[in-house]
């Protein structure tokens, strides 16, 4: 590769959500050359998806979304003005050891869209989080979706569900989205609460801290009250959920205390928490650790977001999931660290400049432990009891097959992959990786920390052979 032709930047940021945008703003304020690559057509990440357009053309809806969105809108404006090079519709498919980055159009339907390359001195991964997969029997039937999918459809496309909607799972996001659906007149025919019994009790020790920012707590409680007040059938202590239908979802079978009953449904919206998207950090070889309270892998970082790989840091929810406000702060901090590492400011200057961000972090951060504990994912929904449930959607590998393979003597995920094809499909284990770690851990009676995760290889997302070969 002719390195003269490859554009070089001080700082390349992958992801234009709150963390990525904040990092770009701060880095630019100190004069770094910055490139931001994002898959979406506009800035905002998942939470502020399509926010510019919402504010401009659907303003009545925008104002209902709350104060957080005004902050988001302002952040996007500052980002657009900061002078960073910003490429939308770009998907990174390979990052070399020397931080040369190869990317391609995220949306081009013509397979000969061209590959582009760029070179970073320092790299920020700010790709955010994703829904934790919630495998259950029938979860691959069209009409079963994670709850954030309707959020995306609403924000990006102005769509709302039409027909009977069942919500199932646990977590603040499910409550929030449930309320939004009620606000726009969607018919929610049941709310299936899968949160662990006694969850509130367990979380109580952390309550004093959380109350310092009580608005989160009271908002959550008000959401719950709203749902119940709307008269929506609310079931807690659910042990089984099965999606049924021939070519699309027709009903949901619910099991509680040994009794089963069916609810008609056109859409089943699932949620079992939000987990960091570690595909790129795994691909880069960053070290990860298992965060047991919320049952996910997170990259190991220091206070500045530096990973175990030189010159690579993370910010936002692709590390410990903490929401938009903290993501933004972590973006500023990561950028300050980069500015320091590139010799533009001294360590003392970095530390001084970081003070307001650290204070903000402290102010926001205490509520998270409470929420994490309150909404701990329960075992039932991490390791499907029903063996015929598909653990790997892409390759249709059942939970039973994974268990059998572990009992045959296979313990590490990559060997399991060889034996079952689990993780070999298009999504490259994004949807099954956590489930596999959990199943093996349960079989071997150890923590998933000991089991580890699949090796994530290039391409980070599929590209055509023609694109790889760089031919027309």
Partner 1 sequence: MIKENAEVVVVGGGVIGVSLAYGMVKKGAKVILIDKVDNRLTASRGNFGLVWFQGKGKGMPRYVEWCIEAIERWPEFAENLETETGFDLNYEKTGGLEICLGEEEHQERVNFIEEMSHASRSGRYDCEMISRKELQGMLPKIKLGKEVSGASFCSHDGCVNPLILLKAMNISFQQKGGGYRPEQSVQKIECNSNDFKIETGTHSFKAEKLVIACGLMTPKLAGMVGMKVPVIPERGQILVTERTSRVFNYPTAGIRQNYDGSFMLGSSHEAVGYNIETSYEVLQNIAKRAIRILPSLKNLQLIRSWAALRVLTPDQKPVYLESDQYPGAHAITSHSGVSLASIHSSILVEWILEERIPPGFTAFHPKRFNVQEAI
Partner 2 sequence: MFKKQYESHETVSIIFEGKNLDVEIGQTVASALLVGGNMVFRSSVVSGQPRGPYCMMGVCFECLIEIDGIPNQRACMIPVREAMKIKRQQKTKSE
Residue 369 contacts residue 209 (beta carbons within 8 Å):
yes
Q: Which of 7, 31, 66, 158 is in the footprint of partner 2 by CB under 8 A?
A: 158
Task: Looking at residues 76 to 105 of the shown chain, list those that interact with partner 1 (rule: CB under 8 A).
Answer: 94, 96-97, 100, 102
Select 127 or 315, whichever has its Cβ closest to partner 2.
Answer: 127
d(CA 392, CA 183): 35
Q: Which of 70, 395, 404, 442 is in the footprint of partner 2 by CB under 8 A?
A: 395
Element (H, E) at 128: none
Which of the listed partners (partner 1, partner 2, none) does 409 bind, with a CB threshold of 5 to 8 Å by partner kind?
A: partner 1
The two three-digit tokens of residue 342, written as one number: 């590139």
d(CA 143, CA 168): 13
d(CA 28, CA 23): 8
Burial tier of 198 (Cβ tally within 10 Å: 0-12, 13-18, 19+): exposed
What is the nearest approach in angstroms of partner 2 to the Cβ of residue 407?
23
What is the nearest approach in angstroms of partner 1 to the Cβ of residue 103?
12
What is the nearest approach in angstroms of partner 2 to the Cβ of residue 442?
24
Task: Looking at residues 405 to 464 of the shown chain, list those that interact with partner 1 (rule: CB under 8 A).
Answer: 408-412, 414-415, 418-419, 424-426, 428, 455, 457-459, 462-464
Which of the listed partners (partner 2, partner 1, none) does 123 bind, with a CB threshold of 5 to 8 Å by partner kind?
A: none
Binding flag, residue 140, partner 2 (CB under 8 A): yes
Which of the listed partners (partner 1, partner 2, none) does 455 bind, with a CB threshold of 5 to 8 Å by partner kind?
A: partner 1
- Helix segments in 321-366, DSSP class H: 324-341, 347-365
Q: Report residue 313 CA to chain centroid gap.
A: 17
Binding flag, residue 394, partner 2 (CB under 8 A): yes
Binding flag, residue 156, partner 1 (CB under 8 A): no
Q: Which of 160, 207, 325, 345 is in the footprint of partner 2 by CB under 8 A?
A: 160
Q: Is the peptide bond before 227 cis (omega within 30 degrees of 0)?
A: no
Select 210 or 416, whichever has its Cβ closest to partner 1.
Answer: 416
Binding flag, residue 266, partner 2 (CB under 8 A): yes
Q: Report residue 2 CA to chain centroid gap.
A: 36
**In the block, residue with structure tokens 């039937």:** 141
Binding flag, residue 156, partner 2 (CB under 8 A): yes
Q: Which of 64, 187, 212, 248 is in the footprint of partner 2 by CB under 8 A?
A: 248
What is the nearest approach in angstroms of partner 2 to the Cβ of residue 122?
25
Task: Looking at residues 187 to 206 of the shown chain, list those that interact with partner 2 (rule: CB under 8 A).
Answer: none
Residue 426 contacts residue 283 (beta carbons within 8 Å):
no
Q: Which residues contact 256 (CB under 8 A, 6 or more apart)?
A: 235, 237, 238, 239, 240
Q: 434-468: buried (b, 16+ CB within 10 Å) or exposed (e) per residue?
A: bbbbbbbbbbeeeebeebbbbebeebbbebeeebe
Select 158 or 462, whichever has its Cβ closest to partner 1.
Answer: 462
Binding flag, residue 107, partner 2 (CB under 8 A): yes
Candidate segments 39-47, 75-83, 234-242, 351-359, binder of partner 2 by CB under 8 A: 39-47
Task: Looking at residues 108 to 127 of the shown chain, list those that interact with partner 1 (rule: CB under 8 A).
Answer: 111-112
Residue 327 contacts residue 320 (beta carbons within 8 Å):
no
Task: Looking at residues 314 to 353 of the shown chain, list those that interact with partner 2 (rule: CB under 8 A).
Answer: none
The two three-digit tokens of residue 38, written as one number: 């994002």
First to last CA, the chain: 17
**What does the DSSP 8-state code read for residue 393?**
T
Q: Which of 30, 90, 288, 430 is in the footprint of partner 2 by CB under 8 A?
A: 430
Give me the residues that bind partner 1 (CB under 8 A), please. Answer: 1, 94, 96-97, 100, 102, 111-112, 408-412, 414-415, 418-419, 424-426, 428, 455, 457-459, 462-466, 468-471
């Amino acid at each position: 590769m002719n390195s003269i032709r490859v554009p070089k930047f001080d700082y390349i940021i992958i992801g234009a959500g709150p963390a990525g945008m904040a990092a770009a703003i701060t880095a630019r304020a100190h004069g770094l050359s910055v490139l931001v690559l994002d898959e979406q057509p506009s800035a905002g990440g998942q939470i502020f998806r399509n926010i510019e357009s919402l504010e401009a053309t659907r303003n009545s809806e925008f104002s209902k979304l709350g104060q957080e969105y005004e902050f988001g809108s302002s952040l996007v404006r500052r980002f657009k003005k900061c002078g960073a090079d910003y490429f939308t519709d770009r998907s990174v498919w390979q990052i070399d050891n020397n931080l040369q980055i190869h990317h391609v159009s995220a949306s081009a339907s013509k397979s000969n869209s061209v590959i582009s390359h760029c070179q970073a001195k320092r790299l920020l991964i700010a790709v955010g989080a994703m829904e934790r997969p919630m495998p259950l029997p029938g979860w691959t039937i069209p009409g079963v979706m994670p709850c954030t999918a309707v959020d995306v459809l609403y924000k990006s496309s102005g769509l709302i569900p039409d027909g009977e909607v069942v919500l199932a799972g646990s977590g603040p996001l499910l409550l929030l989205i449930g309320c939004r659906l009620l606000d726009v007149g969607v018919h929610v025919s049941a709310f299936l609460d899968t949160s662990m019994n006694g969850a509130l009790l367990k979380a109580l020790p952390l309550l004093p801290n959380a109350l310092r920012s009580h608005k989160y707590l009271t908002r959550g409680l008000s959401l719950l009250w709203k749902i119940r007040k709307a008269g929506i059938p609310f079931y807690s202590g659910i042990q089984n959920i099965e999606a049924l239908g021939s070519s699309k979802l027709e009903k949901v079978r619910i099991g509680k205390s040994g009794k089963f009953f069916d609810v008609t449904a056109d859409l089943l919206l699932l949620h079992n928490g939000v987990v960091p998207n570690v595909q790129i950090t795994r691909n880069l070889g960053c070290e990860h650790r298992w965060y047991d309270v919320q049952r996910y892998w997170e990259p190991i970082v220091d206070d500045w977001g530096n990973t175990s790989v030189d010159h690579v840091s993370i910010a936002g929810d692709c590390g410990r999931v903490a929401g938009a406000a903290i993501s933004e702060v972590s973006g500023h901090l990561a950028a300050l660290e980069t500015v320091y590492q590139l010799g533009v400011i001294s360590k003392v200057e970095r530390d001084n400049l970081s003070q307001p961000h650290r204070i903000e972090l402290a102010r926001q951060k205490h509520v998270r432990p409470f929420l994490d504990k309150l909404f701990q994912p329960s075992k039932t929904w991490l390791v499907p009891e029903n063996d015929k449930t598909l653990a790997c959607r892409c390759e249709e590998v059942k939970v039973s097959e994974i268990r059998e393979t572990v009992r045959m003597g296979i313990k590490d995920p990559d060997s399991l992959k060889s034996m079952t094809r689990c993780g070999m499909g298009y999504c490259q284990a994004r949807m099954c990786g956590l489930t596999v770690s959990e199943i093996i851990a349960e079989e071997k009676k150890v923590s998933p920390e000991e089991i580890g995760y699949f090796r994530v290889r290039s391409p980070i997302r599929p590209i055509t052979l023609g694109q790889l070969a760089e031919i027309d």
